Chain A
Amino acid sequence: AQKVTQAQTEISVVEKEDVTLDCVYETRDTTYYLFWYKQPPSGELVFLIRRNSFDEQNEISGRYSWNFQKSTSSFNFTITASQVVDSAVYFCALGTGGGNKLTFGTGTQLKVEL
């Protein structure tokens, strides 16, 4: 069975702080895909990144960076110099086994205050 754990239910930071959102996944499959999505208050889920299990390279995109570690089954997401516009719910998701069915974590609510 697949499982995604986002242990941080809610995080509050002050603008310009760095913040890391944790994601731990469980699967017995050797081929799998990991995703992060952002859901602002407007409701739409915005795709941020996809990573497959054979690519452990970390990725940086502007203020966003992702750290994928198979040894600890983690795919953590860091926002550098956070901004108020980063306030949203962030979901980590796992895809494996075909069918394009994703297993979502419970989400982390990030609040960035001035």
Chain B
Amino acid sequence: DTEVTQTPKHLVMGMTNKKSLKCEQHMGHRAMYWYKQKAKKPPELMFVYSYEKLSINESVPSRFSPECPNSSLLNLHLHALQPEDSALYLCASSQGGSGTSGSYNEQFFGPGTRLTVL
């Protein structure tokens, strides 16, 4: 199974709502990532989990809260979002952890959740 799955595919939420994005992989990867991508821009890294611990937080506002319940699952909890948070949210995973040794493994991406904040 070489797939990263994400649910939901589309999400529309109001600024006062609380919602969660889910990501799952069964490739035995130990690093998982959340990216945000605006139209016609490259993906921007938000968070990295390595061996189920948060290893990178790219100064993301606290209205985005990541969670890694186990090595296969990654969630992104959303609360009090702003319209400018509307974007494609991509999850990815890679083999091994995200250690400081600098050996970069390819990241495999899910299809994304297209989020609209009204």
Binding site for B on A (CB under 8 A): 29, 31, 33, 35, 37, 42-47, 50, 52, 91, 95-102, 104-107
**Residue B102, interface by CB 8 Å:** yes
CB distance from A87 to the nearest CB of B (A): 15
Instruction: A91 to B41: give the CA distance in the assembly, Å.
Output: 10
B99: which of A29, A98, A101, A104 is its contact (CB, 8 Å)?
Answer: A98
Chain A interface helix/strand/loop/mixed: loop
Most buried by B among A44, A52, A100: A100
Instruction: A47 to B45: give the CA distance in the assembly, Å.
Output: 16
Residues of chain B with a CB closer than 8 A to A37's CB: 109
Count B interface residues, CB 8 Å: 30
CB distance from B37 to the nearest CB of A (A): 8
| A102-B41 contact in complex given A43-B111, A44-B110, C-beta closer than 8 Å | no
**Residue B112, interface by CB 8 Å:** yes
Residues of chain A with a CB closer than 8 A to B45's CB: 101-102
Give 25 A-B contacts (CB < 8 Å), ordered by A residue. Answer: A29-B102, A35-B104, A37-B109, A43-B88, A44-B112, A45-B43, A45-B109, A50-B104, A52-B104, A91-B43, A95-B102, A96-B102, A97-B102, A98-B98, A98-B99, A98-B100, A99-B48, A100-B50, A100-B94, A100-B107, A102-B104, A102-B107, A104-B43, A105-B42, A106-B41
B42 close to A100 (CB less than 8 A): no
Instruction: A99 to B48: give the CA distance in the assembly, Å.
Output: 8
